[in-house]
Chains A and B, each alone.
Chain A
Amino acid sequence: MSTKMGMGKLPSSVLARPQVLLPSPSAIQSSSSSSSPRIPLSITQVRHATFVPRPRRPYTFTQLVQLSDGSTYTVRTTMPHGLLKSTKDSRNHVIWQPSNKSLRNVEVDEAGKLAAFRERFGRGWDLDSNKPAAEESSATAAAVAEAEGKKKKAAEAQAPKQEAAPVALVEEEDPYDSLTDLISSYAVEDNSTKGGKSAKEQGKLDKKK
């Protein structure tokens, strides 16, 4: 029959209040007035009546998000702004867009000042100076090739060209000639780390030697 279906909808008799959840006022008064040790009121739920809580949820708005490349999508959010225009997001970040060359951190040396500095003081001041020598030379060669391809101006590419020539020579010449470079590269200290070695670290190094 339709009794089961209609039971939920029909207004039915008022439920009796559970005694454990809401103790009667007389019990509270008696416990407070008497000097006997207070029995803590149990707030545990009785098994035969499960409370149905109303879900608590904050107000959420529908928001249109526009990423830096112009793509848009809607989200539900707690902020009341209707439109969120993003200037920095995954569409213009090098981690998510590795093929986009304009996002890369390329050293701009149009005036040749950095090259001049390196010619005078060496590359020991660079952050990546602690790299292995071969890797560094290949990296510089690649950088030089890229720079030459980009600029194609003799005036601007002076310093890199000067550096490119010895690199190429080193690769062709006798390996013993580069021994000094090898030694100097070992002697270079790591400038990127701050502070000296602790006694423990120094002891480890001594043991290795």
Chain B
Amino acid sequence: MASLRGVSRTARALPLSQLTRPAAPACVQQRRSNASAAAAAASPELQELEVNSTLSTPDLSPEEKAQFRPWKRAKDRQLNLPGSRYQYHPPKFTRGPLHPIQAPPASDPIARDFVPGPFNNPRLKQTYRSTISSDLMTLTYNHVIPGTPDREPAERLRTWEGDSPYFKNRPKRAPRGAPQLMVREKDITFRNIPELAEISVASYVPDCKDNPDMLLVARMALLAITGAIPEVTKNKTDVQGFGMRKGVRSGVKVTIYGHQAYEFLDRCLNIVFPRIKEWPGIKGSTGDSAGNLAFGLRPEDLALFPEIQGNYDMYPAKMIPGARVFIKTTATSDRQARLLMQAMGMPFYGSLKD
């Protein structure tokens, strides 16, 4: 049966007797067999080879053609064949790499977690790739004479000083006044040029206590401006000022990555920020000292997004929320992140915090 699979479909439909008959005229077969007989005599393994080529098969006779009726075969068939559509469905659960049933990779179009795209190349990303990244690397280049020994960074953890024998091998203490070590700034090299990693947009809607629709509108607004489905957040603690209880749904947030993040930033910089009245820029003191910047958008600023402006009537009056936007970069300090953002076209005002 395995040998039948290589034959064409028309040939397969024929009775088996037709396929096994002598294929070529005797003279041709004779000539070939002369050459192959010598080879067969030399090595007995070659005897298993088929001497006749399928290309030299003569045309079917009229009687044989009359006998070839595939429609009759299909009509006489008792059982229905499976449908012509592709019936495979990937498994709903992954059960580990050793399970016999394996889900296809996410890049496979039939996979459950497949996401099509990308459908365009964002303009800001093209600018970053072509111009900004090389500029950042070149302009922040710090020449070190080859052979200079690396300077040992200062020890930030505190050792246990004293006579006690228990201090030996005890792990060092955290720095005084700071429970966690801050990120150390690294020089920009060709390997770690700051890049946009992700953007989180969050909106806290304490008014949803009285009007639950506020949460829905906030969700719609964030969905429209980011292009990703937001998730609803709950209060972590009781907030006396807002009269909110712990565990009550009170906000929405969404995190976007990659092309979506670039496009969101591009839209902010080129369309939304210039439309804000009396806008001074982003506050220069923003940043968490680890290369992540943030800014806020008031409700009237959020309404300036073309996605909301183009369908403004859909949103109930005075229910569009404000939002906080967190830009996460791969920079290791705020000034590097600010350099990246300034190169992308984000203006800063006020005193800059490094």
Contact of A75 with B267 at beta-carbon distance under 8 Å, contacts A7-B102, A12-B101 already known: yes
Q: CA A10 – CA B108 in complex, angstroms?
A: 14
Instruction: Give min CB distance, B292 to chain A, whole Å.
Output: 23
Distance, CA A99 to CA B104, complexed state (A): 55
**B247 beta carbon closer than 8 Å to chain A:** no
- Supposing A74-B120, A75-B122, A79-B224 touch, asked if A18 and B100 sit within 8 A by C-beta, the answer is no
Q: Interface residues of A: mostly helix, strand, loop or mixed?
A: loop
Q: Closest 6 A-B residue pairs measured CB to CB?
A: A93-B274, A49-B93, A52-B112, A73-B123, A90-B270, A79-B310
User: Binary interface profile of A, 62-103, with partner B (CB < 8 Å = 1, else 0)?
Assistant: 100101000001111111010010101111110110000000
A58 interfacial contact with B, CB 8 Å: yes
Enumerate chain A residues within 8 angstroms of B114, measured Cβ to Cβ: 55
- In angstroms, Cα B260 to Cα A49, docked, is 31
B263 at the interface (CB under 8 A from A): yes
4 additional A-B residue pairs with CB within 8 Å, beyond A48-B95, A60-B227, A89-B274:
A15-B91, A50-B94, A75-B122, A75-B267
Q: Would A7 and B227 count as touching, CB distance under 8 A?
A: no
Question: A55: which B residues are within 8 A, CB to CB?
Answer: 113-115
Q: Looking at the complex, which one of A7, A8, A62 makes contact with B119 (CB distance below 8 Å)?
A: A62
Q: Is the beta-carbon distance between A95 and B227 smaller than 8 angstroms?
A: no
Residues of A within 8 Å of B101, CB to CB, are 7, 12-13, 15
Q: Which residues of B contact A67 (CB under 8 A)?
A: 270
- Complex contacts, A91 vs chain B, CB 8 Å: 270
* Contact (A88, B274) CB under 8 Å given A58-B227, A58-B229, A79-B311: yes
Contact B224 A52, beta carbon cutoff 8 Å? no
Q: Is the beta-carbon distance between B307 and A79 smaller than 8 angstroms? A: yes
Does A56 touch B at the CB level, under 8 Å?
A: yes
Q: What residues of chain B lie closer than 8 Å to A13, measured between beta carbons?
A: 101
A89-B224 in contact (CB<8A)? no
Complexed CA–CA distance, A158 and B306 (Å): 47
Does B259 interact with chain A (Cβ within 8 Å)?
yes
- Let me know if B345 and A96 touch, CB within 8 A: yes
Chain B residues packing against A (C-beta within 8 Å): 87-88, 90-96, 100-104, 108, 111-115, 119-120, 122-123, 223-224, 227-229, 259-260, 263, 266-267, 269-271, 273-275, 279, 281, 306-307, 310-311, 345, 347
> Looking at chain B's contact residues, is the secondary structure mostly helix, strand, loop, or mixed?
loop
A53 and B345 form a contact (CB under 8 A): no
List residues 167-202 of chain A with CB under 8 A from any CB of chain B. Answer: none
From known contacts A49-B95, A52-B113, A58-B227, infer whether A8 and B263 are also in contact, taking CB-CB under 8 Å: no
Q: How far is the CA of A15 from the CA of B93 in the complex (A)?
A: 9
**Cβ contacts under 8 Å, B88 to chain A:** 9-11
Q: Contact: B271 with A89, CB < 8 Å?
A: yes
A11 to B89, CA, bound (A): 8
Contacts of B310 on A, CB cut-off 8 Å? 79, 81, 84
Q: List 6 A-B contacts (CB under 8 A).
A: A8-B90, A8-B104, A15-B95, A78-B224, A90-B270, A95-B347
A50-B93 Cα distance, complex, nearest whole Å: 5
How far apart are the CA atoms of A18 and B275 in the complex, in Å? 53
CB–CB A88/B275 < 8 A: yes
A51 in the interface (beta carbon within 8 A): yes
A8, A65, A74, A86: the one within 8 Å of B103 (CB): A8
User: Quick check: B113 and A78 within 8 Å, CB to CB?
Assistant: no
Are A9 and B104 touching (Cβ within 8 A)? yes
Roughly how many angstroms separate A52 CA and B99 CA in the complex, as a whole number? 15
A1-48 contacts to B (CB < 8 Å): 4, 7-13, 15, 18, 48
- Determine whether the beta carbon of A76 is less than 8 Å from that of B345: no
- Report chain B residues within 8 Å CB of A56: 229
- Pair A11/B87 contact, Cβ less than 8 Å: yes
Closest B-chain residue to A21, C-beta based? B93
Chain A, Cβ-Cβ closest to B263: A75
User: Which residue of chain A lies nearest to B117 when distances are taken between CB atoms in the complex?
Assistant: A76
Contact of B345 with A52 in the complex, beta carbons under 8 Å? no
Cβ-defined contact, A53 with B113, below 8 A: yes
Indicate if the CB atoms of A78 and B102 lie closer than 8 Å.
no
The CA of A118 and the CA of B347, in the complex, are separated in Å by: 35
| A54 adjacent to chain B (CB < 8 Å) | yes
Contacts of A208 in B (CB 8 A): none
Q: Are A77 and B122 in contact, CB atoms less than 8 angstroms apart?
A: no
CB-CB under 8 A from A93, the residues of chain B are 274
**How far, in angstroms, from A55 to B269 measured CA to CA in the complex?**
29
**Given A76-B227, A76-B259, A78-B224, are A8 and B102 also a contact pair (CB < 8 Å)?**
yes
Bound-state CA distance A56–B224 (Å) is: 14
CB contact under 8 A between A52 and B347, given known A57-B229, A75-B122, A76-B259 = no
Is B307 a contact of A78 with CB atoms below 8 Å? Answer: yes
Which chain B residues lie closer than 8 Å to A18 at the CB level?
93
CA distance A191 to B85 in the complex (A): 78
- Which chain B residues lie closer than 8 Å to A81 at the CB level? 310
Chain A residues closer than 8 Å to B279, beta-carbon distance: 95
